[in-house]
Structure 1
Amino acid sequence: MNFTKKLILLTSVFCLVALGGIFVFHQNKLVISISGIAVPHHDLVAAKRAQFFSEFASRIKQPKTIILISPNHYSAGQGDIQTTDQDWDLDKGKIISNKDAISFLVEKKLVTNEPASFTDEHGIYNILGDIHNNFPNATLIPLIFKEVSEEELNKLEQSLLQSCKDCLMIASVDFSHYQPAVLADLHDDYSIRDLQLLDTKDILANAEVDSGPALALLTMWAKDHNTIQFTLKSHTNSGIIFQNPDAETTTHVFGWYERGNIVEPEKSVSFLFGGDMMFDRGIYHTFNDNFNQAFSKFGERVFWGTAASVINLEGAITTKKIEDNIQPDNLDFEFSPKIIKTLSFLHINTASLANNHSDNAGSEGITITRSLLGAAGIQPFGGATQSSVFRIAHITGNGISLAVIGMNLTYPNQDANILIPIIAELKKDPTVRVMIMPHWGEEYEKKHTLAQENTAHTWIDAGADMIIGSHPHVIEDAELYKGAPIIYSLGNLLFDQTFSRATQEGLLIGGKFTTDDLTFFGLPVQSIKYQPQFIRGERKKEILNSLYIPFKNYVVDSPAGEVVKINK
């Protein structure tokens, strides 16, 4: 063999050895790199969960102890964070608790030892079989959470690092609950983004999951173990599994944190717009100050889990005594300050005051309304006249932000062209998307007017990306102009106008902007005895088929339901 051939052979062997070393090192790195996982406890996906456990268990070193964290589904017991030092008898064996670590946490008064709270806690016991099957020698630290602050979680996590640094953390968490599949997917998109960015604060505040504290603790644990890459293995939705996207759903995320770089999610900003909300007259008479009861069939989760959650607040908050006047000619809408509690309960974070009732309590009422909304973390935008169009709501997404402008055109001498330079200035930033929520049109008319159309076209020509209107108290038609959707009227979300089916129906419009496109969908709602709820079945199809006529070339039939997707 000549020198050249020997050199080639030696070089080849060296490369193979080197590559093998890298491969082994890479595999060794994978074996020890996973610090924690997110897994659902919903037994609809028990088989998928078992498969997931088997896959990741083969990739990590067997942990000596597992920290299993879950929501406290029934708010059992006294403590906000609870544990138990009991051992767990299973069909195939026993899981022993890590009594030393548990005692350490209890002695530091970070958790309370309350075994009775674990008796029916499926967030814990649904996972135990998977743990025992894959980690038969691991001991357990179980923790269940009520509502917990970031400060409390930080203290707990630091103590866990002291007592159990090499432990594997398993967050037993189901994601979106009770929503139509298409809305659940929008919420999950937001929650998964937070996991990818390890955004602990936002998970606690805005992720629509059954335990924000459990996922927040998981992100803290990942950061302190330098395992900041979230690997999403699977995402499922019960509505899609059952091929019934209208049904109330539960969604499931399977993933883990490992060494690597932070996963950069797509640049996007999500939104959900609802129609007119009025808390006086028949609404006040029916519910008095217990306005949460009006949403007992709607729930608190609908607006939870999007960057912008927007409604039109059709009236003013006052500190004066509310007059119980249910007469139809009572058009002076003044609200109790207790509506703030309900808007917060619904996770509304943006409210339009650009309507013909926001000044019903005078200048003092306008000041009070803006002040109370702002103090609750709800951005008010717009006002009764064009002098307030400069009050714009700004919502930050991931690399894209949303500017929402409100304008009331039902008063005389309002010049819609005043928005042209405002829109143009906002659009100088290519990461800003401009949405306009005008109060306009004719009450109870299902067809928009020529004046509405001309105004909408003017704003879109100036750069507006989408227009969603209010005031007619019924769902109006829609239009697509130069690639920008116009939803002329959402109708009512909460109102006491029971004289027709049309005034008791409304729309939610949800979606998101990305760098390249806009995706949105409609969700019809109806009010029964002043209680909003989703419309399902044939009536939903009728409403959406009519709404989507202008967008027929852009409708995508996804497994979760129809959406409109427009490339920008």
Structure 2
Amino acid sequence: KLQKLFTIFLLIILVEMISNINAEFPIQDISYGQISELNLVELVKKPMTIPLADLTKIDSRLDSIVFVGDVLLARNVEVLMERYDDSYPYKGLNFNELSTKPLVIGNFESSIPIVHKPTEALQMSFSTNSKYLTAARAAGFSYFSLANNHSFDSGSNGYSNSVDKLIQNNLIPLGHPNEFNKDSVSVIEVNNMKVALIALQAIEFHFDDNDISDVLDYASSISDFQVVYVHWGIEYEQKHSKKQRQLAEKFVKYGADLVIGHHPHVVQDIDLIDGVPVFYSLGNYIFDQYFSTPVQQGLILQLTLGRESFVDVIPVTSEGTLSQPRRMNVLQQAVFLRNLTQISNPLLKSDIEQGTIPLNFKVATSSKVAMITK
């Protein structure tokens, strides 16, 4: 017992020492908004539509759902894949180490045009070669959200081709960049519970309370648990905006059980609204931004539903391994999560530090009275 206490004491001292060096969140005070050309690998230049109708997928073998933030398979990430191999971005982390059979969801931050042209360094209109989808599927991805501000980078034809190519590679597209309706909802089954995934883009596309109410009512009628996966927020800001909070309140009001955001390219604070956790931004997962520590950090969320339902919060970093995320080590994780508590809802402090947030939610049934609590 004395040895165990001594080990814990040493760990606390180490955490304190590191946090004194990096006391603020973000860890580095670096100006945002510009990619350093010095940090980019030199870019090498190389030279039937499926309707987005019913994309519901049921798989009772799944034991958890894993969410990541922004995934870019273009620009300098393409250079790295060409230099090494298509699986390069996924070699730092194996999703199967998180659970036996996870379903993995990410935000696909690009378009897949009919004619691919590699994206130049510093360009903000992204083009992804469809050949890279095979490796993404092999790495464990099942769903990619297209409800973002880059899905139309190659126009409507590019968007339609993106949908086609994802489906052809057994990857299910979620949502639409300029629409929010019943087609924004996909349903999967985890541990005999139906989970609705609701994907939407809230940066450029505007919708009203009736739209939110209609979609969430529909999702609630066909599922037990509703997850809003939303593209929103201000880039490089590590605190949520007023608009994000207002939208989150509406999502919760109309039935969301969990709200997960992406787009800001950095991890944002975690909130609690009427008992519902709100992850304002998961930050980057696979991306070619290297100009600061925060843009090379992200969160993985692992949602487990059952008698005990909870979200595991797993920090990742790609510092030192360009565009190749990996789990932080124990010490890095402790410091990161403690810093995250400083900007998050105080009610979640101990849960965030422990890396697990328990869930309390109502199960959608005909009577609307069933309750699952942790």
- What's the TM-score once normalised by structure 2's chain length? 0.73
Taking the aligned partners of 2:101 and 2:283, their CA distance within structure 1 comes to 21
Which of residues 495, 511, 520 is equivalent to 2:303?
511
Name the CA distance, whole Å, in 1 between partners of 2:98 and 2:139: 6
| 8 Å contact kept, 1:278–1:313 | yes
The amino acid that maps onto 1:552 is: L
Contact 1:356 1:384 in 2 (8 A): yes
- Which amino acid in 2 is paired with 1:555? D
Counterpart code for 2:168: A
Alignment pair present for 1:468 and 2:276: no
* Partner Cα distance (1:371, 1:324) in 2: 21
Match of 1:67 in 2: none
Structure 2 alignment gaps of length 5 or more = 1-58, 362-374
Return the alpha-carbon distance in structure 2 between the equivalents of residues 532 and 487 of structure 1.
Answer: 19
The aligned length equals: 297
Other-structure match for 1:437: 229
TM-superposed CA distance for 1:357, in Å, is 0.2
Q: Which residue number corresponds to residue 170 of structure 1?
A: none
> Distance in 2 between the 1:288 and 1:362 partners?
26
Q: Say whether residues 1:555 and 2:351 are aligned partners.
A: yes
In 2: Cα distance, 1:304 partner to 1:369 partner: 29
Asked whether the 8 Å contact 2:337–2:352 carries over to 1, the reply is: no
Tell me the SS of whatever aligns to 1:316.
Answer: coil
Which secondary structure state, in structure 2, belongs to the residue aligned with residue 469 of structure 1?
A: strand
1:111-510 to structure 2, matched below 5 A, reads 270-288=64-82, 290-299=85-94, 301=96, 305-326=100-121, 328=122, 330-387=123-180, 390-415=183-208, 417-429=210-222, 431-510=223-302
- Give 1:470's aligned amino acid: H
| Residue deviations 1:419-463 (CA, integer Å, cap 9, x gap) | 21111222235x521101111110000000111001001110101
- On the 8 A contact 1:304/1:346 being kept in 2, the answer is no
Q: Structure 2 counterpart of 1:530, which letter?
A: S
**Larger % of helix: which?**
1
Q: Tell me, what secondary structure is at the counterpart of 2:249?
A: helix
Q: Is the 8 A contact 2:113 2:161 kept in 1?
A: yes
> Counterparts of 2:206 and 2:308 in 1: how far apart (Å)?
36
Are the aligned partners of 2:80 and 2:88 in contact in 1 as well (CA < 8 Å)? Answer: no
Structure 1: which amino acid aligns with 2:314? L
Tell me which amino acid in the other structure corresponds to 1:519: F
Query: Would the aligned equivalents of 2:185 and 2:219 in 1 still touch at CA under 8 Å?
Result: no
**What is the alpha-carbon root mean square deviation over aligned residues?**
2.5
Given that residues 333 and 357 in structure 1 are in contact (C-alpha distance below 8 angstroms), is that contact kept between their aligned partners in structure 2? yes
Given residue 90 of structure 2, which amino acid in structure 1 is its aligned partner? Answer: F
Find the aligned partners of 1:303 and 1:310 in 2 and give their Cα distance. Answer: 14
Identity of aligned residues (%): 25
Distance change (3 Å), C-alpha of 1:389 and 1:542? farther
Q: Which AA in structure 1 matches 2:294?
A: A
Shift of 1:300: 5.9
> Mind listing any 5+ residue stretches in structure 1 that lack a counterpart?
1-200, 207-268
Distance 1:455 1:553, change over 3 A: same
- Residue 547 of structure 1: CA displacement? 4.1
The letter of the residue matching 1:480 is: L
The Cα of 1:373 is off from its aligned counterpart by 1.7
Q: What CA distance in whole angstroms lies between the structure 2 residues aligned with 1:488 and 1:494?
A: 18
